[in-house]
């Protein structure tokens, strides 16, 4: 297609947005966070003063939605928030990007007597959002007793605790509370997303908070910020898992070592479901036992051969057929994997220890 010529009939007032924001920060943020940050920049450019309730009314959000978005950008170090003695938000500092040097602009917020924001009083620990493949390991740090007390006494987060206790059927321990606080503050999950996270795990028989923490970190590294995104991811993941299980002749829920194999194939190795199912078919034809390790061996070979599509597999098969003597071929296909006996118990222990 030819390039388009764009004509401008008149000069328009404009808000300048940093390319760094578009390139590095916008991709990981949800719609509300992006809208609110852009609105702050626009109002700063116009030199206007406004309150949290004004933002909420303009975008049809709750004030807590607005405050959550502001805290998100504070964790990304694009804003800093000032509070008065009553812990009401009084000012937002729009900070320069790491590669920029101008002085921070200060955007004052008019205080609305009828609207008393309730920002969380806990300490937050920033999480750098880059592409999932480049994310550093996310480690939960210990929270203070004051952090946990504020978390339990805040109206919004107390609801999270109540939901968690109802789903799991127990009073939460300190470690459980720290995990929830970590998910809420460090990972930046909304209460709705935490609700869905707990529901998702419990429905799969996983009531341990350590498991919920692992799922939450996985979602955070995949830049999941809304319930809709989480549902799309879990639906796709479950389709892949159970398609692979069926292809390998298994009807039960996958074990942890089996899930580890599937995550390796779909994530680390980057194979499509179509290619994985082709490997499963060959494993089923070749052996009745240890089909996961056998499928893995096939996929490792295909990865070494830079297989990206079914056509690549066919080309590899043809090449193998031409280079092999007829007497040496048992099934005329790509099946050059020597049968091996696997110590599956040892393999399972190794995977579970990771």
Positive or negative, the CA dihedral 38, 41, 45, 51 is: positive
**CA neighbor of 46 nearest in space, from 67, 18, 21, 16:** 16
**Number of residues that this document lists for the chain:** 354
- 255 and 213 assigned to the same domain: no
What CATH number is associated with residue 42?
A: 1.10.10.10
Please indicate, yes or no, whether residues 152 and 202 belong to a single structural domain of this protein.
Answer: yes
Last residue within a domain, chosen from 108, 126, 155: 108
Asked if 167 and 195 count as a contact pair (C-beta separation under 8 A), the reply is no
- In-domain check, residue 231: no
Q: Which pLDDT does position 7 carry in this prediction?
A: 54
SS (H, E, C) 53-72: HHHHHHHCCCHHHHHHHHHH
DSSP 251-298: -SPPPHHHHHHHHIIIIIS---HHHHHHHHHHHHHH-SS-HHHHHHHH
Residue 187: DSSP 8-state: S
Instruction: Tell me if residue 179 falls in helix, strand or coil.
Output: helix
Helices (H) and strands (E) in the chain, counts: 15, 3
Same domain assignment for residues 283 and 345: yes
The answer on 266 and 220 residing in a single domain is no
Q: What angle do CA 105, 30, 264 make, to 5 degrees?
A: 125
The reply to whether 56 and 96 lie within a common domain is: yes
Same domain, 257 and 183: no
Same domain, 263 and 345: yes
Q: How far is CA 27 from the centre of its chain?
A: 12
In a domain, 14, yes or no: no
Q: Is residue 13 part of a domain?
A: no
In the block, residue with structure tokens 């460090």: 186
Same-domain check for residues 72 and 24: yes
151 & 100 share domain: no
pLDDT for residue 137: 66
Q: Are 112 and 146 in contact (CB under 8 A)?
A: no
pLDDT value of residue 208: 92
Cα–Cα distance for residue pair 283/298, rounded to 1 Å:
8
Per the listing, tokens 């388009």 go with 4
Angle between helices 191-203 and 209-221 (to 10 degrees): 120
Domain count, the chain: 3
Quick one: pLDDT at residue 104?
45
Q: At what angle do helices 31-46 and 52-59 cross, to 10 degrees?
A: 120
**126 within a domain of the structure (yes/no):** no
Question: For residue 129, is it within any domain?
Answer: no
Judgement on whether residues 215 and 149 belong to the same structural domain of the protein: yes
pLDDT digit string (tens) for the chain, length 354 residues: 555 554 555 555 677 888 888 888 887 788 888 888 998 888 887 777 778 888 888 888 888 888 888 888 888 888 888 887 777 788 888 888 765 444 444 455 544 444 444 443 444 333 333 333 445 567 787 788 888 888 888 888 888 899 899 999 999 999 999 999 999 888 888 888 999 999 989 988 889 999 999 999 988 888 888 888 888 887 777 778 888 988 998 877 778 788 888 888 988 888 888 999 999 999 999 888 889 999 999 999 999 989 888 888 888 888 877 776 555 444 444 454 444 444 444 544 444 444
Q: Residue 218 is inside which H or E element, if any?
A: helix 209-221
Domain closes at, from 108, 130, 147: 108
Shortest CA distance to 261 belongs to which of 253, 251, 269?
A: 269
Beta bridge mates, 50: 109
Nearest to 161 by CA among 173, 146, 144: 173
Task: Domain of residue 323: give its range.
Answer: 248-353
**Packed helices 227-247 and 256-263: angle between N→C axes, nearest 10 degrees:** 110
* Strand-strand pairing, 89-94 and 105-108: antiparallel
Cα 297 from Cα 294, distance rounded (Å): 5
**In this structure, is residue 293 part of a structural domain?**
yes
Residues whose CB is less than 8 angstroms from the CB of residue 240 and which lie 6 or more positions away in sequence, other chains included: 262, 266, 273, 276
Residue 77 falls inside a structural domain: yes
Strands (E), 16-143: 79-83, 89-94, 105-108
Q: What is the pLDDT of residue 124?
A: 39
Bridge-partner residues for 81, per DSSP? 92
Q: Do both 181 and 278 map to the same domain?
A: no
Q: How far is CA 112 from the centre of its chain?
A: 36
Q: Is residue 121 part of a domain?
A: no
């Amino acid at each position: 297609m030819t390039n388009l010529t764009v004509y401008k009939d008149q000069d328009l007032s404009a808000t300048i947005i940093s390319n760094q924001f578009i390139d590095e920060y916008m991709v990981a943020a949800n719609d509300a966070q992006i809208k609110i940050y852009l609105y702050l920049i626009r109002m700063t450019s116009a030199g206007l003063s406004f309150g949290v309730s004004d933002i909420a009314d303009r975008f049809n959000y709750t004030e807590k939605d607005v405050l959550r978005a502001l805290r998100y950008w504070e964790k990304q170090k694009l804003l800093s928030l000032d509070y008065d003695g009553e812990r009401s938000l009084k000012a937002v500092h729009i900070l320069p990007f790491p590669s920029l040097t101008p002085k921070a602009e200060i955007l004052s917020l008019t205080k609305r007597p009828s609207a008393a924001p309730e920002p969380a009083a806990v300490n937050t620990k920033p999480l750098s959002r880059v592409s999932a493949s480049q994310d550093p390991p996310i480690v939960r740090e210990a929270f203070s007793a004051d952090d946990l007390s504020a978390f339990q006494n805040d109206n919004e987060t107390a609801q999270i605790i109540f939901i968690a206790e109802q789903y799991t059927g127990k009073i939460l321990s300190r470690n459980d509370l720290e995990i929830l606080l970590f998910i809420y503050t460090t990972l930046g999950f909304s209460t709705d997303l935490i609700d869905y996270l707990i529901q998702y795990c419990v429905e799969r028989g996983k009531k341990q908070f350590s498991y919920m923490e692992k799922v939450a970190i996985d979602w955070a590294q995949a830049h999941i910020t809304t319930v809709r995104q989480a549902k799309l991811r879990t639906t796709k993941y479950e389709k892949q898992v159970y398609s692979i299980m069926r292809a390998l002749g298994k009807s039960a829920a996958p074990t942890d070592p089996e899930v580890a194999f599937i995550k390796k194939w779909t994530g680390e190795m980057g194979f499509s479901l179509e290619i994985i199912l082709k490997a499963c078919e060959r494993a089923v034809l070749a052996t009745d036992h240890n089909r996961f390790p056998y499928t893995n061996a096939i996929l490792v070979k295909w990865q070494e051969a830079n297989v990206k599509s079914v056509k690549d597999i066919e080309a590899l098969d043809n090449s193998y057929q031409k280079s092999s003597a007829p007497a040496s071929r048992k099934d005329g296909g790509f099946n050059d994997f020597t049968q091996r006996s696997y110590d599956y118990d040892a393999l399972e222990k190794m995977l579970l220890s990771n």
